[in-house]
Amino acid sequence: MVGKKLRGVTQMIAERHFSDNYGAARNDLSHKVASIELVPYHSKSSPELYNLASADAARQFVKSRSKDQTIIVMRIVKA
């Protein structure tokens, strides 16, 4: 399911490709989006967490994508 952070992207896709049908755009996008977490948590006392094998695998996955694929980078915004 496409989350709140992609509302703007979903609306743009709806307008351009689905005759303003937000539900159809959301359904289409939900089958085409992968969520890749670089490091799901961090700790000042454990900076080595940045060098986890899973973080390296995420970086490699993103680098391996073709130039015609769009990558949307998101991050948590603390209140």
More confident residue, 67 or 24: 24
Please provide the size of the chain in residues: 79
The verdict on 63 and 44 lying in the same domain is yes
Torsion of CA 66, 4, 42, 55, to 10 degrees: -20
The verdict on 46 and 21 lying in the same domain is no
* Angstrom distance (rounded) from CA 40 to CA 68: 27
For residue 2, what are the domain limits? Answer: 1-33
The verdict on 7 and 18 lying in the same domain is yes
**DSSP letter at 49?**
G
The verdict on 25 and 42 lying in the same domain is no
Q: What's the pLDDT tens digit per position in 31-69? A: 888 777 776 565 667 666 667 787 788 888 888 988 888
Q: How many domains does the chain have?
A: 2
- pTM exceeds 0.75 for this model: no
* Angstrom distance (rounded) from CA 73 to CA 59: 12
Q: Which residue in 74, 67, 70 sits closest to 33, CA to CA? A: 70
The verdict on 60 and 22 lying in the same domain is no
**Residue 25 pLDDT > 90:** yes
The verdict on 25 and 43 lying in the same domain is no
